[in-house]
Structure 1
Amino acid sequence: MHKKFSTIAGVVAGACLVLSINAQAATRPGPADARFKAIYTEELKWRHTQQQESDEDDDNGVTSALPRIDAATQARRLAYWQGVLKKLDGIKPASLSGEENINYQVYKAQIAALVAEIAYREYEKPLNADTAFWSNLAYSARRPMTTEKDYRAYIRQLQDVPRYFDEEIVNMRAGLARGFTPPKVTLVGRDASISSVAEARTPQDSIYYEPFKAMPATMPTTVQEDLRAQGIKAIATAVQPSFVKLLGFMRDEYVPKAREDLAAENLPDGKAYYQSKIVEFTTTTMTADEIHQVGVAEMAKIRAEMQDVIKQTGFKGDLPAFLHFLRTDSQFYAKTPEELLMRSAWVAKKFDGKVAQYFGYLPRRRFAIIPVPADQAPFYTSGRGGPGVYLVNTYNLPSRALYSMPALTLHESAPGHAFQMPIAMEQKGRPSFRNAYISAYGEGWALYTERLGAEMGMYETPYETFGMLSYQAWRASRLVVDTGIHSKGWTRKQAQDYLRANTALSDHEIETEVDRYISWPGQALSYYLGQMSIIKARRKAEAALGEKFDIRNFHDTVLQLGSVPLPVLEARIDQFIKDGGKSPYPALE
């Protein structure tokens, strides 16, 4: 292992270790608060100039240019963030006031992850089986645009695509030269989302024309016509030629030469690299071996629960036979995409009737339920949620079980991602870096809500309860599969067989999920470990508070905190206990 990368792994782990120290914070703002604020205020302004994130505080901002991502720019960013880490090392968390102490712990872990990401040159691998830089770019076309300023910024962004794609291709060639690519097997067919743009008959047939199809009625017709004409020109002269070039590169050069090996630990400096991803995605310093053993133990517990539910259905047969029954009986599958979407909507509205019993504070923002875009659907997850949206994958209906829809909907919509994220964004007075998504918290919360669904009475049949348990097993098995693939030499088939034997996922879902884990090391570990942390904190609060424990106050406290590393969450619940289990929103008491 190179000394440089060993040091980087230590920096990330060290930042995480700081989080586990529940030191008493200062009760009042002092000089340390001012020094810390000066550091992150300056860095955030610089980060905006680098276009690492939108200048807007919400998710509606449309930037007029794409970030520079060439190697020289990346080197400058690495040096800058390393300097920020040194400044942060000069501040003792215990000298900060309560809120700034939390900010410090979130911020330092974030900067450490940014340093590690560039140090390992992850910008040379800007794609995986789930998403890629070109599919992320398409999200701009799906953002709501309400002003002429938005549209003109969007057109300038489209005009910047050739430069941006050229830099991505140069970076990918550098990764290819050192064997730093996703495994070849996970890239098969992923060029479909490129060809859908490159081979579009006209610019108007491209996803990038979507914002121009329904423009604000308040905008003058002459302005609309001008913007449409400029949009068509930008798509025809900048976007489509860039996708044609990228398609040729992927088909003729990148995919044929991509690495055959699966394990992250076999990448350059792989052991330290994989450990850095474990730290990033779990916010713990657990090792791959420790996580693997946790997964094996949790899977045994879930299988016992599954056996109990199978008895409730009256099915005569063992677990493999029951899983085959679930995967093949037509009663469990929607006949049309609309049926799947409507079932999702029904579950979401059913939750609305129960929400007041479990939550005190509700987000103002609602969410739409829409199908996953056709160009992404074949390789996309079964659903995905966030502020304002719950995406449901209606592709390959025989792989989308209706008995899983309650658990999926709770996870991706409310009270999961489309509920948690808006609440975090509604909190006032926090620096913008607190809106960053920390997977262990966000995915842990969403998985926790699937279990919560049983308490809420969301599962009306034993099959739906089994669907929830299958989803629990799916996430627990990720602890086994991810570490198995990236640290223990597991094959793709071995990982698929493990999911097939332990969950009710369809073969299609199993194939896409395993390819996702292969090409995105560590991300799959965040879900179950995050849920375990929340459940542990809840049980601790229930035991300590007794009759004073109010589930609404507990949930509000977790959500009001926003996305944070798991040790910070656990420390906040310790304070919740000391405060007598009070709501974080006094007006709701």
Structure 2
Amino acid sequence: MAQTTGEGARLKAIYGAEWAWRGAQQADSEETERSGIANRLADVGPAAQKQRLNYWLKVRAQLQAIDQTALSPRERDDYMVYKTQIDALIDGQVFRDYEKPLNSDSAFWSDLAYGASASFRTEADYRNYIRQLNDVPRYFDQNIDNMRAGLKRGFTPPKVTLTGREASIARVADAIPRDTVYFKPFLNLPSGFSDSLKADLQAQAEAAIATRVIPAHKKLLTFMVTDYIPKARAGLAAADLPDGKDYYQAQIRAYTTLDLSPDDIHAIGLREVARIRADMQTIMTEVGFKGSLGEFLTFLRTDPQFYAQTPQDLLYRAAWVSKRFDAKAGDYFGRLPRRRFGIYPVAPEIAPFYTSGRGGPGAYWVNTYDLKSRPLYSLPALTLHESAPGHAFQMPLAMENKDLADFRQRTYISAYGEGWALYAEYLGLEMGLYETPYERFGYLSYQMWRAARLVVDTGIHAKGWTREQAQAFMRDNTALSEHELTTEVDRYITWPGQALSYYLGYLTIKEARQKAEAALGDRFDIRAFHDTILDLGSVPLPLVTARVDRFITDGGKGPYSETP
């Protein structure tokens, strides 16, 4: 156990108090991944938002008063991670991100629906969830009021990206209670519950959905269709939003944890796109394809051999890839997470606008909508990214690492998390998990997809690119289907900066590994390196670099290496 300094004790007191307060403020937030089911939804009204800003400003002032030179190395790490979190939280309040609680593929109502997939264990969990269901009208009303405020100042997603997005609301608004996603936790109640308790919980849930949840969705649907979508802004660029250039730079800082300009990032993207195109040409030669890259991409998008025939077949193939990783995991990782994950189809109410997959603690969601848009040659890369050793592997490891403070166990910094998941795709090459040249091309296409994001995101938000220009760039350089590249470009338009985190995070981890391999030579142990990276939890990218420098100084010894 690391020794605590006097300044370290001050730091611990600050983040301990704030973390407890943050949890109370964000009762329903997946960001904090707290145990148990909250008994209410978050207060997102203006008074609460102002209180949060004032609180976090005071916390930042307290942090600035700490003498960092008096902190131990571990405490300095904590300081950097925590300060990055607080700065991002403050920026979110200053720019009033809560007035735009939706993007093209997710929103406050769909995030709430995914709460139905949480782990319910006790009677208290189920009763607390029923309390959440009864709280939905208040929560929706506050979000609608925030969206009205955003609408008034032109702070909305672009109208073109919102077309049809009301469908996920309508699915609930037009449903009977037992057919909604909110009733799913009550379909298979624990066997230890008595029949009378099961009946009581089901009746209360059904009543809450009928009298509170469905009417709230009807009200939201009317607002979206008659008011919000028709009046949403026409422009695309974040730079055109109120305080747009500063807002976009703050988004870059939040999602990449780096001080890079849009021009810097755009140039990195163009460089990497050119490099990956050369690798793609090598595989085209390997399979004997005689045409251009564009013709090869058309072949991949249209040949039936590359697509599953049924949704279940796609799920089976995803499970097969994940089990092939399990067979080799011990050769590449010294510490494995205890928590397992399930594989689930993306809910039909959001699938048409959702990404191809998403993962996290306990779950890997595979989008089975429109199978002709879900190529099997990309499935290994997708699975490695979203399940193991990506999100469903890294996040549980952080949560299970009791040597980390709570704020490091249970929060997510996109540059690290998405960078690690993209590195996980790369690791599939070394592990032999891409079995055919087409699967290796699928891996390259996914690498290209993330590199192209650097170009497209900055092109849209800082360089005046049109939606069609962004789509064309993705179409010309990746093997994404037309459906996928359309939904992805809309995601970048409505979620400025988030798409930048993947490739910049990957480059940081990959370059840190290359540096360690060069410095350590035969002493480099891949298991110790991966354990060192994953032992950090979710951290700013400069801390990854600094930690690997210490790994090199320590002779390549990982956090779980035996002491001689």
Asked whether the two chains share a fold, i.e. TM above 0.5, the reply is yes
Count of matched residue positions in the alignment of Structure 1 and Structure 2: 562
The corresponding residue for 2:493 is 518
**Residue number among 270, 278, 301 corresponding to 1:327 in the alignment:** 301
Kept in 2: contact 1:47–1:53 (CA 8 A): no
Kept in 1: contact 2:23–2:32 (CA 8 A): no
**Residue number among 100, 103, 119 corresponding to 2:94 in the alignment:** 119
SS of residue paired to 2:535? helix
Kept in 1: contact 2:31–2:412 (CA 8 A): no
Distance 1:212 1:52, change over 3 A: closer
Cα distance in structure 1, aligned partners of 2:126 and 2:562: 41
Kept in 2: contact 1:128–1:519 (CA 8 A): yes
* One-letter amino acid of the counterpart of residue 264, structure 1: A
The corresponding residue for 1:37 is 12
SS of residue paired to 1:64? coil
Cα distance in structure 2, aligned partners of 1:213 and 1:53: 22
SS of residue paired to 1:467? helix
The corresponding residue for 1:153 is 128
Query: What residue ranges of structure 1 are gaps of 5+ in the alignment?
Result: 1-26
Kept in 2: contact 1:48–1:55 (CA 8 A): no
Cα distance in structure 1, aligned partners of 2:201 and 2:154: 44
**Within the alignment, does 1:315 sit opposite 2:284 as a pair?**
no
Output the aligned Cα RMSD.
1.4
Q: How does 1:141-290 map to 2 (within 5 A)?
A: 141-200=116-175, 202-290=176-264
The corresponding residue for 2:266 is 292
Q: CA deviation at 1:46?
A: 1.9
* 1:391-424 CA-partner distances (Å, limit 9, x unpaired): 1111000010011111111111111111111111
Distance 1:451 1:359, change over 3 A: same
The corresponding residue for 1:382 is 356
Of 360-369 and 518-527, the range deviating more from structure 2: 360-369
Kept in 2: contact 1:544–1:577 (CA 8 A): yes
Kept in 2: contact 1:54–1:61 (CA 8 A): no
Kept in 2: contact 1:146–1:215 (CA 8 A): no
The corresponding residue for 2:553 is 578
* One-letter amino acid of the counterpart of residue 93, structure 1: Q
Q: How does 1:122-133 map to 2 (within 5 A)?
A: 122-133=97-108
Distance 1:123 1:308, change over 3 A: same
Q: CA deviation at 1:588?
A: 9.6
Distance 1:56 1:461, change over 3 A: closer
**Within the alignment, does 1:342 sit opposite 2:316 as a pair?**
yes
SS of residue paired to 1:138? helix
Cα distance in structure 2, aligned partners of 1:439 and 1:311: 36
The corresponding residue for 2:411 is 436
Kept in 2: contact 1:360–1:588 (CA 8 A): no
Q: CA deviation at 1:355?
A: 1.3
Q: CA deviation at 1:40?
A: 1.1
Q: CA deviation at 1:338?
A: 1.2
Cα distance in structure 2, aligned partners of 1:85 and 1:57: 19
* One-letter amino acid of the counterpart of residue 425, structure 1: M
* 1:197-233 CA-partner distances (Å, limit 9, x unpaired): 1110x21111111111110110011111111111111
Cα distance in structure 2, aligned partners of 1:447 and 1:57: 23
Kept in 2: contact 1:537–1:570 (CA 8 A): yes
* One-letter amino acid of the counterpart of residue 276, structure 2: I
Cα distance in structure 1, aligned partners of 2:562 and 2:472: 52
The corresponding residue for 1:5 is none
Cα distance in structure 2, aligned partners of 1:100 and 1:289: 34
Kept in 2: contact 1:265–1:487 (CA 8 A): yes
* One-letter amino acid of the counterpart of residue 99, structure 1: R
Kept in 1: contact 2:31–2:411 (CA 8 A): no
Cα distance in structure 2, aligned partners of 1:456 and 1:94: 42
Q: CA deviation at 1:98?
A: 2.1
Cα distance in structure 1, aligned partners of 2:407 and 2:347: 30
Distance 1:60 1:80, change over 3 A: closer
SS of residue paired to 1:189? coil
State the identity %.
61
* 1:244-297 CA-partner distances (Å, limit 9, x unpaired): 000000000000000010000000000000000000000000000000000000
* 1:502-561 CA-partner distances (Å, limit 9, x unpaired): 000000000000000000000000000000000110011001101000111101110111
Q: CA deviation at 1:56?
A: 12
The corresponding residue for 1:72 is 47
* One-letter amino acid of the counterpart of residue 106, structure 2: T
Cα distance in structure 1, aligned partners of 2:495 and 2:31: 28
Cα distance in structure 1, aligned partners of 2:532 and 2:254: 24
Runs of 4+ more than 6 Å apart: 54-57
Kept in 1: contact 2:28–2:41 (CA 8 A): no
The corresponding residue for 1:85 is 60
The corresponding residue for 2:394 is 420
**Residue number among 11, 26, 33 corresponding to 1:51 in the alignment:** 26
* One-letter amino acid of the counterpart of residue 469, structure 1: L
Of 244-253 and 232-241, the range deviating more from structure 2: 232-241
Kept in 2: contact 1:470–1:503 (CA 8 A): yes
TM-score normalised by length of structure 2: 0.98
Q: CA deviation at 1:443?
A: 0.4
Kept in 2: contact 1:55–1:61 (CA 8 A): no
Kept in 2: contact 1:341–1:369 (CA 8 A): yes
The corresponding residue for 1:20 is none
Distance 1:500 1:538, change over 3 A: same
Of 306-315 and 43-52, the range deviating more from structure 2: 43-52
Of 410-419 and 48-57, the range deviating more from structure 2: 48-57
Cα distance in structure 1, aligned partners of 2:23 and 2:217: 27
* One-letter amino acid of the counterpart of residue 302, structure 1: I
Q: CA deviation at 1:57?
A: 7.7
Of 48-57 and 171-180, the range deviating more from structure 2: 48-57
Q: CA deviation at 1:92?
A: 2.7
Cα distance in structure 2, aligned partners of 1:53 and 1:375: 21
Q: CA deviation at 1:93?
A: 2.3
**Residue number among 473, 483, 505 corresponding to 1:498 in the alignment:** 473
**Residue number among 511, 517, 532 corresponding to 1:536 in the alignment:** 511
The corresponding residue for 1:18 is none
* 1:54-92 CA-partner distances (Å, limit 9, x unpaired): 699855521111111111211111111101101100113
Cα distance in structure 1, aligned partners of 2:129 and 2:28: 15
The corresponding residue for 2:442 is 467
Cα distance in structure 2, aligned partners of 1:551 and 1:421: 20
Cα distance in structure 2, aligned partners of 1:127 and 1:407: 27
Q: CA deviation at 1:376?
A: 1.1
* One-letter amino acid of the counterpart of residue 563, structure 1: S
SS of residue paired to 1:63? coil
Q: How does 1:337-376 map to 2 (within 5 A)?
A: 337-376=311-350
Q: CA deviation at 1:143?
A: 1.3
TM-score normalised by length of structure 1: 0.94
Cα distance in structure 2, aligned partners of 1:55 and 1:38: 24
Kept in 2: contact 1:62–1:140 (CA 8 A): no
Query: What residue ranges of structure 2 are gaps of 5+ in the alignment?
Result: none
**Residue number among 521, 536, 545 corresponding to 1:546 in the alignment:** 521
Of 54-63 and 205-214, the range deviating more from structure 2: 54-63
Of 322-331 and 94-103, the range deviating more from structure 2: 94-103
